[in-house]
Amino acid sequence: MAEEQELPTRPPSVMEDPSAQAIARTYADAFLNAAAGTGVDDALEEFASFVADVLDANPKFEAILLSGIVRRDEKIKLIDRAIAPYGSELFVNFLRVLAQHDRLELLPMILGESQVRHEVRTGRQRVQVTSAQPLSEETRNDVRKRLAESLPFEPILEERTDPAVLGGLVIQVGDTVYDSSLRTRLKQLRRRLRERSLNEIQSGRDRFSHPEGD
């Protein structure tokens, strides 16, 4: 009889947890609320610098700190020894809380959620703008101005290039997409021509099916 395999009680990586984003959002809100009294912009800058200049720049250190194998108390000792002398009390305490709850693996995701949620709190929101070629400074300013006049918040442009767009822009605000690209207009034109052809064919059939004077 085959041996029964023990089912894991926790995903091998927190990042594989389907609810990881919701968990990251909760910690992001807690971080922003805690930073409100000392300065959110400075706290986010420290957070981003830690992820980019410490974790990303030191893969071995990142592997230890974010490991699911290293014990919580060992991670807290590492935080106290290697990070506490250089980080703010707010950020170091936040890392300790994440370590205690085995959530350090979510640090990059929490950072992203913190930045987005701070933007929303301060009346800003990211808008994805896709074009065939990189936007010129003049076009970028014009797009930003037009969006600011049309939207109830200050837009933060996230620019992308996609040669398939051909011309024009594809603008996404949240889940809503505004597509003015040449590719889409050509598709619409083809659809209209096809519909017109089908209507003309159907009209011809109707005339032959009901001849005058019958």
What gap in Å lies between CA 155 and CA 173, rounded to an integer? Answer: 9
Confidence of residue 187 (pLDDT cuts 50, 70, 90): low
Q: Can you give the pLDDT at residue 37? A: 86
pLDDT over 70 for what percent of the chain? 76
Confidence of residue 206 (pLDDT cuts 50, 70, 90): low
What is this structure's pTM? 0.66
CB proximity list for 115: less than 8 A, separation 6 or greater: 44, 48
Q: Can you give the pLDDT at residue 59? A: 94
**DSSP of 81-94, one letter per residue?**
IIITTTS-HHHHHH
Q: Which two tokens stand for residue 27?
A: 């910690």
Coil, helix or strand at residue 50:
helix
Look at phi and psi of residue 152 and say left if phi exceeds 0, alpha if psi is from -120 to 50, else beta: alpha
What mean pLDDT value characterizes the chain?
A: 83
What gap in Å lies between CA 8 and CA 108, rounded to an integer? Answer: 24
Which of the two residues, 110 and 4, has the higher pLDDT score? 110
| Interhelix angle 40-49/20-35, nearest 10 degrees | 130
Confidence of residue 174 (pLDDT cuts 50, 70, 90): confident
Q: Where are the domains of the chain?
A: 14-119, 123-181
Q: Is residue 157's pLDDT more than 60?
A: yes
What gap in Å lies between CA 70 and CA 76, rounded to an integer? Answer: 10
Among 1.10.520, 1.20.1050, 1.10.10, 1.10.287, name the CATH number for the domain at 14-119.
1.10.520
Q: Can you give the pLDDT at residue 8? A: 39
78-124 pLDDT tens trace = 999 999 999 999 999 999 999 999 999 999 999 999 999 999 899 99
Q: Which helix (H) or strand (E) holds 179?
A: strand 176-179
With CA atoms as reference, report the closest residue to 158 among 131, 129, 133, 134.
Answer: 129
Q: Which two tokens stand for residue 116?
A: 């987005």
Neighbours of 161 (CB within 10 A): 12
